[in-house]
Structure 1
Amino acid sequence: MSNKKLAAGLLGIFLGSLGIDKFVLGCNNVAIVMLVVSLTGGLLACGVATGLMSKIGLLEGIIYLTKATDEVRESYLD
């Protein structure tokens, strides 16, 4: 589990706007929504939605890395 937590945290920080961290944790529906919003928002809204998704991904990445492994498991994997 700690490998998934580390991978999700780093991907959230660096590629959070694409929702890749959510795919690692198995939250595929949320990941697809983030990916679609980020890609279409980048084209239609001059990058505002992509910037917002980037900030969300950054915050989630920090949360994954700072939470205890058991808390991440309970919150995101169960």
Structure 2
Amino acid sequence: MTLEEIKEGKTAAVTSYILIVGVLIALSMNSETKNKFASFHIRQGLGLTLTFIILGVSISHFESILIAAPMWIFISILTVYGIFTAAKGETTPLPLLGNVFQKWFKTI
């Protein structure tokens, strides 16, 4: 990836980490240009959003702050990590799940 590609894709990359809505906005921003840097972070953001939804639905049945708080902390830390790596212009996968997201969503 060139510095020009990273610079052009940075806005879409950072936007992709805004849960649920951000991924859709970033996908539309990247639909014409197909920037590799933005696509990498869109895959990460999409995986993080789906993880958030799946964990949220699974945990919602327990109605306990002791169960919900760790999920929120986990998702928040991964979101902040993703935003910082995108802003710095790096393509570092998210810890634990990032490489899996790249494999699952390789067509994006």
Query: Given the two structures, how large is their TM-score scaled by the length of structure 1?
Result: 0.51
Structure whose alpha-carbon radius of gyration is higher? 2
- Give the gaps of 5 or more residues in structure 2: 1-8, 24-41
The share of aligned pairs that are identical, in percent, is 7
Note the residue ranges of structure 1 that are not aligned, 5 or more in a row: none
Change (3 A) 1:32 1:65: closer
1:20-59 aligned at under 5 Å gives the runs 20=20, 24=23, 25-27=42-44, 28=46, 31-44=49-62, 46-59=64-77
Cα RMSD of the aligned pairs, angstroms, is 3.3
Distance (Å, rounded) in 2 between the aligned partners of 1:29 and 1:62: 14
- Displacement of 1:29 in angstroms is 5.5
Q: 1:50 to 1:7 in 2, by over 3 A?
A: farther
Q: CA deviation at 1:26?
A: 2.6
Give the Cα separation in 2 of the matches to 1:63 and 1:29.
14
- The total of aligned residue pairs comes to 67
Match of 2:10 in 1: 2
